[in-house]
Amino acid sequence: MEINHKLKLSSDLLVAKLMMLFGALYSLKLLFDEHRSNVDIDFKTDLEYKIFFIIMIAFLVYFLTRPAIFYDELNLYIKKINSPEIIVSLKDIKSIFNNPLTGVRGNPIITIDYIDNLPGKNSIKFSAPNSIDKIKIFCDVVKRTNPHVEIV
């Protein structure tokens, strides 16, 4: 029995998650400190802290719900926080689109279209790591398994 090791394709966005968590905790601290102080703070400052807190929580939730993408020689594994792991055969991948213009800090956004027996949208978008070499290796593995894949 052959053991395949999964290689991570998507980025963790750990720095962004930590920044949003720090921002949310800091704004929460500011809100509680303002309510405890004896000095009256105007409504505008209190509202700004609340808006900042809501924005930080929204971005934190966004970054925490990004899919984790792994692959091996046979399959592509898509793990989302709110659904079970999706396993897609590399033979079922229709196209891979690398869009470097939409990325943040050198992380291009990769879109993979695949054939699946589930109805609805059969594609996944994710942020790729800084190293473009991982994407090239992944494209080579898919091309060997599925010569009809369209790589853009």
Q: Please write the tens of the pLDDT for every residue from 60-79.
A: 998 888 888 888 888 888 88
Q: Please write the tens of the pLDDT for every residue from 27-57.
A: 888 887 766 554 555 667 778 888 999 999 9
Classify the C-alpha dihedral 118-123-127-131 as positive or negative: positive
Classify the C-alpha dihedral 138-143-149-152 as positive or negative: positive
Give whole-number Cα distances, 132 to 24, 89, 135, 137, 147, in Å. Answer: 32, 22, 5, 9, 21
Q: Please write the tens of the pLDDT for every residue from 81-135.
A: 888 888 888 888 888 888 767 655 666 788 888 887 766 668 888 877 666 778 8
3-class SS shares of the chain: helix, strand, coil, % to 5: 40, 30, 30
Helix locations, 13-102, DSSP H: 14-36, 43-64
User: What is the layout of strands, in order, in the sheet containing 7-8?
Assistant: 7-8, 68-71, 75-79, 86-89
What is the overall mean pLDDT for the chain? 81
Q: What element of type H or E holds 96? A: strand 93-104
- Candidates 123, 142, 98, 127; CA nearest to 8 is 127
